[in-house]
Amino acid sequence: MTRPARAFWLISPGYGEIREAELQDPAEDEVLVRALWSGVSRGTETLVFRGEVPRSQYAAMRAPFQEGDFPGPVKYGYLSVGVVEEGPAHLAGRTVFCLHPHQTRYVVPASAVTPVPDHVPAERAVLAGTVETAVNALWDAAPLVGDRIAVVGGGMVGCSVAALLARFPGVRVQLVDTDPAREETAKALGAGFAAPADALGDCDLVVHASTTEQGLARALELVADEGTVLELSWYGDRKVSLPLGEDFHSRRLVLRSSQVGTVAPARRARRSYGDRLALALDLLADPALDALVTGECAFEELPEVLPRLADGSLPALCHRVRYGR
């Protein structure tokens, strides 16, 4: 038997539509999930929507349940929360998170879903993928008690990192962004805030997530001698210039990349992808993280909403998509 579903597809850069889909009955080791919520990240997903994935990164950028190929038509996305309508007894009826594109119902292996803890609201659980990125970044960065830290870039990833760092004992964490509206977000997350020109320097660690070369240059200025700048931004097909002359070498600075596609080496021997995602979901028990959700629309509105998110005319951190209401 087959059953109908509807999915959002990027047809060509800047243009998307909702298409019909037919689902097969789930096999013994699969689940049928009815979507409740999904999330749109202003970072990678809008970059994909604009058609800015470099050809060399087509394979590396594939989402777990992507259909089609870049630049389009492609079904892309990775922040979905739903309820298991059919599947193994231990999952039936459970609310779960899945790295799946925007779709009303879908069938995936049971191993591809992670139960959402009872103490985490389903609508907040769409943040799991981004908080997982923040967890991996901090495994890479290994901040210490009492560190002075700046997070440059107040987007979804930067704010998630700042939120987790704000819970470290004795840490001075400051979110740095050009948008003064991010001050309220930082305050809700328990972090300090500054415009780039006013940010506190002499940092033991700077996490960069602004996706601008100006932000990365400022991150290098803020870090203390022999300190580390952790780069979380992904620039797609854009070239970035860096000031690696002057005192970069004499100060013995470290510029290090971090990416969620692999578990950080510091934990790789003892933590799986599933462990990392389960931790991220558990951390979402904190209601302060609701500050990362700054917009919402119905699934049917995605073809009109995503172009506005991609061109910045609809500002947002995480834009949440609701189903069946």
Q: What is the pLDDT of residue 125?
A: 98
The pLDDT of residue 261 is: 86
Q: What is the pLDDT of residues 164-195, one digit of tens each?
A: 999 999 999 999 999 999 999 999 999 999 99
Domain ranges in the chain? 2-124+289-322, 130-257
Q: Are 106 and 55 a contacting pair, CB within 8 Å? A: no
Strand order in the sheet with 67-68: 15-24, 2-12, 74-75, 67-68
- Tell me how far apart the alpha carbons of residues 9 and 23 are, in angstroms, rounded to a whole number: 16
What is the model's pLDDT at position 215? 96
Cα 40 from Cα 46, distance rounded (Å) = 8
pLDDT tens digit string along 60-90?
A: 889 999 999 999 999 999 999 999 999 999 9
Alpha-carbon distances, residue 229 vs 151, 201, 206 (angstroms):
10, 12, 5
* Per-residue confidence (pLDDT) for residue 264, from 0 to 100: 94
**Torsion on CA atoms 170, 174, 175, 181, rounded to nearest 10:** 110
Could you tell me if 132 and 110 are in contact, meaning their C-beta atoms sit under 8 angstroms apart?
no
* 116 in Cβ contact with 122 (< 8 Å): yes
Q: Which DSSP string do the residues of 131-188 spell out, in sequence order? A: HHHHHHHHHHH---TT-EEEEE--SHHHHHHHHHHTTSTT-EEEEE-S-TTHHHHHHH
pLDDT at 246: 84
pLDDT at 325: 57
**CATH topology classification for 130-257:** Rossmann fold (3.40.50)
Q: Do domains 2-124+289-322 and 130-257 have the same CATH topology?
A: no
Low-confidence ranges of the chain (pLDDT < 70): 325
Residue 149's pLDDT is what? 98
CA distance 101 to 76: 5
Q: Which fold has domain 2-124+289-322?
A: Quinone Oxidoreductase; Chain A, domain 1 (3.90.180)
Classify residue 77 as exposed, middle or buried by CB count within 10 Å of its CB (0-12, 13-18, 19+): buried
Which contiguous run of DSSP H or E holds residue 222?
Answer: helix 213-222
